[in-house]
Amino acid sequence: MEYRELKVPGAWEITPRQFGDDRGVFLEWFKGSEFEAAVGHSLELAQANCSVSAAGVLRGIHFTDNPPGQAKYVTCVKGAFLDVIVDLRVGSPMFGQWDSVLIDDIDRRAVYLPAGVGHAILSLEDASTVMYLCSMEYTPALDHDLHPLDPELGIDWPTVGRDGSPLTFQLSEKDSAAPSLKQALDAGVLPTYPM
């Protein structure tokens, strides 16, 4: 596996080695010892999720109170997504900045997000499927959202899908009603950067 740290501190892109022949392909999409050697700590596993999305479905920006915080390890098993990581940790040198990784069923990259950062995915193809490992179970009382189209964040969302057709963004009611970065900062709900 090849690990590349993203511009959001503590977030990583992971590219697995794939072994293919006329029968198909095999890869390790997570390996604890390699993860720990690259990132510097282990990933505690408390929950695993799967989400299937139509082209244009935009999920996020989601984050969890930190502490306790929820780290995620995300990969795409079918189709394609733009995976976006936003540094929401007040006091971080990269506060309000974002980075993105194309995760798909060709390169089969994964993304690791540390606790305290925001996460969003945009499906670039119908029936795209993402799987993610989580360091803590989903706890609604600790869950928060930011509006993914907040102009202050300026995320450069693709406007065409993997096949070149135009995308129409589809957000849940919860994500559509989410506050902006400034509103969340003013409300005091954003996590703080470890000092």
Characterize the bridge pairing of strands 110-113 and 24-27: unpaired
Task: Say which of 132, 144, 147, 193 is annotated catalytic.
Answer: 132
73 flagged as catalytic:
no
3-state DSSP assignment of residue 182: helix
Residue appearing with tokens 């945009």:
122
CB burial class (10 A; 0-12, 13-18, 19+) of residue 151? exposed
Task: Say which of 62, 119, 144, 147 is annotated catalytic.
Answer: 62
- Angstrom CA distances, 109 to 16, 82, 158, stand at 6, 11, 18
132 flagged as catalytic:
yes
Residues 167 and 122: their CA atoms lie apart, in Å, by: 10
> Looking at the annotation, which residues are catalytic?
62, 132
